[in-house]
Amino acid sequence: MGLFLLSGISQAEMKLNLQEPITALGRDVYDLHLLMTIVCGVIFVAVFGVMFWSVFVHRKSAGYKAATFHESTTVEILWTIVPVFILLGMAWPATKTILAMRDTTNADITIKATGYQWKWGYDYLKGTGEGISFVSTLSTPQPQVRNEVAKGENYLLEVDNELVVPVGKKIRILTTANDVIHAWWVPALAVKQDAVPGFIRDTWFRAEKTGTYRGQCAELCGKEHGYMPIVVKIVTEEEYAAWVDGKLKAMAAAADDPNKMYLVEELTPRGEKVFAANCAACHQANGQGLPPAFPPLVGSKVVLGPQDGQIDILLNGKSGTAMAAFKHLSDTELAAVITYTRNSWGNATGEVVQPSDIKVARE
């Protein structure tokens, strides 16, 4: 307790409580936590007030003679019954909050958040913005993590594509995962929901304030678990409409023609980007990997062998290892990244894998 006070005074700028909530439910949770902490604190002080009184007064060194009592049915029944009522008093607001929290009906916008090792994919499924789909990856540069340059303000809590939603609307988030269990957590929205592969869970929030709010994956999901943040940008309805418009146009413009035949030089720059976003965490940017858990791709039998083998591993993963399935990437992205690995770092097959090859393999 002394330490608590000390740190409270000397580090006044440090956060000692939950983050400032920006939803009605978040405020309920905030208040419930505060109430619980105060009630527990009062009981704690009362019980240990009695104990420390005893410690200071009933000392042998002060010549205090021990009493001999060792039971009292009245007192024992009393201190069993009284806590029951205190607990009932706590259960009431707690129950109300949970019931509100689990009501995911009548959402204005439904978004699916998919956990991948180690990034989040977002698909706007229903409501304004339907059809938007993108992947959100950590944007903090590696040199900051390796302490080679100064760390930015939002170190580890920044992404390339933020999740954008309008203020005041009920947003339902469906969570699922591609590989292992992740958890979608944004403290200021009072939302945390596990993302379980093969299953869909849901949660919701209705933000009351615009701004950018940051969270992280909360369930250990492997090596880069600490590096898959969630950034939610709450905007006004007009801004949201404009963002949706721009996003849909940009997606249409960037859409690939799945039947186009590419040359090596056309695919490798694209492949390098896909590699950096999806593969480099384990296989490293120089393709050397981190053996033995994450094998090198330079000189790899799979990469230099028949194309079908490599396509199969990328589509289905390799069981018993950390190699996940990447079938969520588009045919063009997969073709590009395979072509890139077959023609980089001294791997010189000169071969090009076409999006149509991937399409065939998928079927």
Partner 1 sequence: MAAIPGGADHAHDHDHHQPSGIMRWVTTTNHKDIGSMYLWFSFAMFLVGGVMALVIRAELFQPGLQVVDPDRFNQMTTLHGLIMVFGAIMPAFVGFANWMIPLMIGASDMAFARMNNWSFWLLPPAAILLTSSLLVPGGAAASGWTLYPPLTVQMGIGMDMAIFAVHILGISSIMGSINIVTTLLNMRAPGMTLMKMPLFCWTWLITAYLVIAVMPVLAGAVTMILTDRHFGTSFFNAAGGGDPVLYQHIFWFFGHPEVYIIAIPAFGVVSQVIPAFSRKPLFGYASMVYATSSIAILSFIVWAHHMYTVGMPVAGQLYFMFATMLIAIPTGVKVFNWVATMWRGSLSFETPMLFSIGFLFLFTLGGFSGLVLSMTAVDIQLHDSYYVVAHFHYVMVAGALFSAYAGAYYWLPKWTGHMYDEKLGKLHFWLSIVFFNMTFFVQHFLGLAGMPRRIPDYSLQFAEFNMISSIGAFGFGLSQLVFLVVVLKCIKGGEKASAKPWDGAEGLEWTVPSPAPHHTFETPPVFK
| Contacts (CB under 8 A) with partner 1, residues 240-299 | 290, 292-293
Per-residue burial over 25-59, b if 16 or more Cβ lie within 10 Å, else e, is: bbebbbebeeeeeeeeeeeeeeeeeeeeeeeeeee
Q: Which is nearer to partner 1, 8 or 269 (CB)?
A: 8
Q: Which is nearer to partner 1, 226 or 296 (CB)?
A: 226
Angle between helices 24-57 and 73-101 (to 10 degrees): 160
CB of 177 vs partner 1, minimal distance in Å: 9
CB 246 within 8 A of CB 172: no
Residue 4 lies near partner 1 (rule: CB under 8 A): yes
Q: Which is nearer to partner 1, 175 or 343 (CB)?
A: 175
Count the neighbouring beta carbons within 10 Å of the beta carbon of residue 284. Answer: 16
Locate tokens 């009501």: which residue? Answer: 103
CB of 125 vs partner 1, minimal distance in Å: 18
CB of 318 vs partner 1, minimal distance in Å: 10
Q: Which is nearer to partner 1, 106 or 238 (CB)?
A: 106
Residue 66 lies near partner 1 (rule: CB under 8 A): yes
- In 3D space, the residue among 277, 292, 285, 294 whose CA is nearest the CA of residue 345 turns out to be 285
Ordered DSSP codes for 129-143: TTT-EEEE-B-S-HH
Residue 105 lies near partner 1 (rule: CB under 8 A): no
For partner 1, the binding residue among 24, 45, 91, 242 (CB under 8 A) is 91
- Within residues 139-158, the interface with partner 1 by CB under 8 A covers 144-147, 151, 153-157
- In 3D space, the residue among 335, 336, 338 whose CA is nearest the CA of residue 357 turns out to be 335
For partner 1, the binding residue among 131, 141, 160, 199 (CB under 8 A) is 199
Going by C-beta distance under 8 Å and a sequence separation of 6 or more, which residues neighbour residue 268? Answer: 336, 339, 340, 343, 344
For partner 1, the binding residue among 45, 102, 255, 261 (CB under 8 A) is 102
Q: Which is nearer to partner 1, 101 or 135 (CB)?
A: 101
Please state the φ and ψ torsions of residue 200, each to the nearest 5 degrees: -120, 125
Q: Which is nearer to partner 1, 8 or 131 (CB)?
A: 8
Strands laid side by side in the 133-136 sheet: 133-136, 119-126, 109-116, 171-177, 201-205
At position 196, the amino acid (one-letter code) is V
For partner 1, the binding residue among 33, 209, 249, 362 (CB under 8 A) is 33
Site residue total, partner 1 (CB under 8 A): 104
CB of 121 vs partner 1, minimal distance in Å: 18
CB of 285 vs partner 1, minimal distance in Å: 15
- Within residues 152-191, the interface with partner 1 by CB under 8 A covers 153-157, 175, 179-181, 183, 185, 187, 190-191
Going by C-beta distance under 8 Å and a sequence separation of 6 or more, which residues neighbour residue 275? Answer: 283, 285, 337, 340, 341
For 30, the token pair is 């905030």
For partner 1, the binding residue among 40, 242, 255, 276 (CB under 8 A) is 40
Residue 360 lies near partner 1 (rule: CB under 8 A): no
The span of 84-92, 127-135, 204-212, 350-358 binding partner 1 (CB under 8 A) equals 84-92
